[in-house]
């Protein structure tokens, strides 16, 4: 059965449309069912697990009678189901071989579909598409993720980069475009892969602030999905970003950004503190 691109549920008396690719797993808990999505949100619904299994299609595995897991969300199957967001789920151990066989078969099918449907564009096509980025003062790249046979991101290829990217990476554009990151930097740090993978596969927009040993620079990176299997990255050298303190609300704004202000401190009655928008891998 072919999965739909989205499903519609009733949660808290509201009609919610969820992209199937954003759903990590579904749990049946008595009279309610929880749908856990990649943003971290959990939606409660009265839809049964069987109904959701029918709607979600073949890209999900039933790991025990009360749990469906997206094949795309599984990092590994060990003594538990290890998800790409760091969570772990229990599964029926006596069915481990059956679950592993389903996982591998569905994973291989998804990779074949993924490769078949990927954009076929030349370097000139990418440059024509992103031509407006050429003169921007900040670095921008479109990268195509490289996945291994188990659907884990292992590297990426630069499909487009502007002159500001070349200056930041200290590599001429003619060497960057069409090259994998690992082939250019022998000291490649894999910590970036997980965030880029999430952007490319789940359509998330993520912000990363971390040290890049490859270019010995602290970077702020905003990544977001572009073409299928690709993500766009806007990169800033933190040392070159000037911060202007222009009002008494600056400190509060920074604390809000870091997720350290309570609703009362922000002056917003009856609201819990929202999640931080920053995504900083260690």
Q: Are 134 and 224 within one domain?
A: yes
CA distance 68 to 218: 39
Q: Are 147 and 208 within one domain?
A: yes
Last residue within a domain, chosen from 91, 117, 143: 117
pLDDT, residue 16, reads 93
User: Lowest-confidence range among 162-171, 232-241, 253-262?
Assistant: 253-262
Q: Which residue has the higher pLDDT, 120 or 187?
A: 187
Share of the chain above pLDDT 90, in %: 47
Q: Are 111 and 144 within one domain?
A: no
Band of residue 149 on the pLDDT scale cut at 50, 70, 90: confident
CA distance 182 to 184: 5
Strand 153-161 with 67-70, pairing: unpaired
Q: Are 102 and 202 within one domain?
A: no
CA distance 157 to 238: 24
| Residue 154 structure tokens | 């292992």
The alpha carbon of residue 85 and the mean position of all alpha carbons in its chain are separated, in whole angstroms, by 9
Residues in the chain: 282
For the chain, report the end-to-end CA distance as a whole number of angstroms. 39
Domain residues for the domain of 254 are 247-282
Last residue within a domain, chosen from 117, 143, 163: 117
Band of residue 57 on the pLDDT scale cut at 50, 70, 90: confident
- Exposure of 129 in the CB half-sphere (CA atoms within 13 A): 15
Q: Is residue 109 part of a domain?
A: yes
Q: Please state the rounded mean pLDDT for residues 76-93.
A: 89
Across the chain, what does the average pLDDT equal?
A: 82
Band of residue 29 on the pLDDT scale cut at 50, 70, 90: very high
CA distance 28 to 15: 19
Q: Are 127 and 228 within one domain?
A: yes
Q: Is residue 1 part of a domain?
A: no
Summarised one tens digit per residue, pLDDT across range 201-240 is 777 788 889 999 889 999 999 999 898 889 999 999 988 8
pLDDT, residue 221, reads 93
Give the CATH number for residue 224: 3.30.450.20
Summarised one tens digit per residue, pLDDT across range 85-143 is 889 999 999 999 999 998 888 877 766 665 555 557 899 999 999 998 999 889 999 99
pLDDT, residue 201, reads 78
Q: Are 127 and 227 within one domain?
A: yes
- Distances from the Cα of 244 to the Cαs of 87, 220, 222, 241, in angstroms? 39, 17, 21, 10
Number of domain units in the chain: 3
Cα–Cα–Cα angle for 132, 136, 140, rounded to 5 degrees:
85
Q: Which of 102-116, 129-143, 145-159, 185-199 has the highest mean pLDDT?
A: 129-143
pLDDT, residue 271, reads 40
Q: Are 207 and 151 within one domain?
A: yes
- Largest Cα–Cα distance in the chain? 62
Q: Please state the rounded mean pLDDT for residues 156-167.
A: 96
Q: Please state the rounded mean pLDDT for residues 36-43.
A: 91
């Amino acid at each position: 059965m072919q999965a739909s691109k989205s499903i519609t549920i009733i949660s808290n008396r509201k009609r919610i449309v969820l992209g199937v690719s954003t759903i990590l797993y579904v749990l049946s808990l008595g009279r309610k069912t929880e749908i856990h999505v990649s943003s971290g949100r959990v939606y409660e619904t009265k839809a049964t697990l069987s109904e959701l299994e029918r709607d979600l299609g073949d890209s999900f595995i039933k790991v025990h009678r009360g749990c469906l897991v997206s094949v795309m969300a599984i990092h590994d199957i060990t003594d538990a189901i290890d998800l790409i967001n760091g969570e772990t789920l229990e599964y029926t151990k006596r069915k481990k071989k059956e679950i592993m066989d389903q996982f591998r078969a569905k994973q291989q099918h998804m990779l074949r579909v993924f490769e078949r449907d990927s954009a076929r564009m030349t370097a000139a096509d990418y440059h024509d598409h992103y031509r407006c980025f050429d003169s921007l003062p900040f670095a921008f790249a479109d990268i195509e993720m490289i996945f291994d046979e188990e659907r884990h991101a292992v590297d990426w290829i630069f499909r487009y980069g502007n002159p500001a990217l070349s200056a930041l990476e200290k590599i001429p554009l003619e060497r960057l475009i069409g090259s994998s990151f690992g082939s250019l930097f022998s000291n490649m740090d894999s910590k970036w892969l997980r965030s880029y993978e999430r952007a490319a596969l789940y359509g998330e927009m993520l912000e990363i602030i971390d040290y890049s040993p490859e270019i010995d620079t602290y970077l702020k990176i905003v990544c977001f999905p572009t073409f299928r299997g690709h993500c766009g990255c806007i990169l800033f050298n933190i040392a070159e970003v000037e911060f202007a303190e222009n009002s008494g609300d600056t400190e509060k704004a920074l604390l809000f950004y870091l997720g350290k202000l309570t609703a009362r401190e922000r002056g917003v009655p009856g609201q819990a503190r929202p999640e931080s928008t920053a995504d900083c891998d260690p």
